[in-house]
Amino acid sequence: MQKALLAVDRFSTFIGKAFAWTVVGLTALISWEVFSRYALNKPHAWVLDAQIMLYGTLFMMAGAYTLSKNGHVRGDVLYGFFRPRTQAAIDLVLYLVFFLPGIVALTWAGWTFAQEALAIREQTFNADPIPVYPFKFVIPVAGAVLLLQGIVEIVRCWVCLRDGEWPSREQDVEEVDVDKLKEMVHVKDEDLMVPAPPELPPAQRQEGA
C-alpha cells in the first residue's frame, strides 16, 4: 500500500513541476507586452486574458502537488499539539465532509463547463479574442488529479488511525534547509537556546516585589 501511496505522490509531483513551467511563459509574455506597450506603443488586448489563463492553470494544477507535500495552509494553533491519531481523525472527518463533496462537484461542474465551451467554441470578449475552451478543460483535469491525491490522503489518515503514526510521503526541496544550514555554519540546537536568567537572591526578590 505504501508503494501505491508514494506512486500517487510522485504523479502529483510530476504534474505540479510540469505546469510550473507556465511561470516561464507568463514571465516572458508579461515582459514582451510591457516592451511592446511602452517601447513600441503597440498594446495587445488579448494579453491580459492570456495572463489570467496561464496563472489560473498554474494555480489549479499545483493543488494536488501542494496536497501531496502537506503544504496547504491550515489553522494548526491547536492541531500541532494533538497526537497523530487525533490529527488523523480530524483530517478524516474534514476530508469526508468537506473535501470530497467539494472536489467531486468541482470536477463534475468543470467537465460540464468545458463541454459547453467546446460546443460553442467560446472566446474572450475583447478586440482581439482568443479561445477560452482549452482553459476550461483545465478545471476538470485539475479536479480529477486533486481528487486522486485526496483519496491517498484519506488512506493515510486510516493508516495513521491503525498504526498510531503518519506514514511517510514523498519529499521535495525546501526553500530553506534548516538542518543543512546548521551543518554549514557549525551550529547546534543547544547553541540556539536562550539561557534562563539567573535567579535573584531572596532579599532582592523581596525588594523587587
Q: Tell me how far apart the alpha carbons of residues 139 and 134 are, in angstroms, rounded to a whole number.
A: 10
Q: Tell me how far apart the alpha carbons of residues 186 and 201 are, in angstroms, rounded to a whole number.
A: 37
Q: Is residue 41 assigned to a domain?
A: yes
> pLDDT per residue over 48-78, tens digit each?
999 999 999 999 999 999 999 988 887 777 8
Continuous H helices in the chain: 2-19, 22-38, 46-61, 63-68, 84-94, 100-119, 133-136, 138-163, 178-185, 189-192, 202-208
Q: Is residue 63 assigned to a domain?
A: yes
Q: Is residue 189 assigned to a domain?
A: no
Question: Domain limits at 153?
Answer: 2-177
Q: Is residue 156 assigned to a domain?
A: yes
Domain count, the chain: 1
> pLDDT per residue over 71-124, tens digit each?
888 777 788 888 999 999 999 999 999 999 999 999 999 999 999 999 999 998
Q: Is residue 7 assigned to a domain?
A: yes
